[in-house]
Copies of this chain bind each other. A is one copy, B any other.
Amino acid sequence: MISVLRLGHRLGRDDRISTHCGLVSRALGASEIIYSGDKDDKLIEGLKSVTKRWGGPFKITYEKNWRKIIKKYKKKHFVIVHLTMYGLSVNKEIKKLRRKKNLLIIIGSEKVPGEVYQLADYNIAVTSQPHSEVAALAVFLHEYFCGKNKKFKKAKIRIMPQARGKKVVESSRK
């Protein structure tokens, strides 16, 4: 089980990036995302609505106190992986991490407290260059699952891959 913890969401400023973090978590195979920082009901509702239409299971929650989440998941024996450009290369560490069944992946926003680097079991970098928490999360999940796509359940909408154009199948099941 892969859980994602998004640190320091800021209302307004982070709306779209935080939404992308949630969508990427779901699409690339994580089981849940937990938001910290500003409480943002619209963000949570938007992602719940995507999951309702496109399928799950995928859980979206908010918790003000991110330290509590890390503590709780450590107790449940999750391995804590912090994605940061200062960490060790994902290319070198991924084999080891694939053997761990339960991961809590932490992604930050602007400024991540130094404490997170210490609380994490692994600080992992997707390139040692500045880019995007959305991209780092996507590449990490893609690597962790060896590119295998998750099969979503109870989807009302599905895409049939096409060389050109769009083909969408809508299910009438409620």
Q: Which residues of A contact B (CB under 8 A)?
A: 16-17, 20, 23-24, 26-28, 50, 54, 85-91, 114, 117-118, 120, 122-123, 125-132, 134-139, 142-143, 147, 149-150, 152, 158-168
Contact = CB atoms under 8 A, between A and B. Distances in A.
Given A91-B147, A147-B143, A166-B86, A129 B27 contact: yes
Nearest to A25: B131
A20 to B, nearest CB: 4
A123 B26 contact: no
A26 B142 CA distance: 20
Contact of A135 (B28, B125, B161): B28
Contacts of A161: 86-89, 125, 128
Contacts of A134: 20, 132, 134-135, 138
A138 B24 CA distance: 12
A159 B86 contact: yes
Nearest to A167: B86
A163 B158 CA distance: 41
B27 A130 contact: yes
Contacts of A142: 126, 139, 142-143
24 contacts: A17-B17, A20-B132, A20-B135, A23-B135, A27-B131, A28-B127, A50-B130, A54-B129, A54-B130, A87-B163, A88-B162, A91-B147, A117-B164, A117-B165, A125-B161, A127-B150, A128-B149, A132-B134, A132-B138, A135-B135, A135-B138, A138-B138, A138-B139, A139-B139
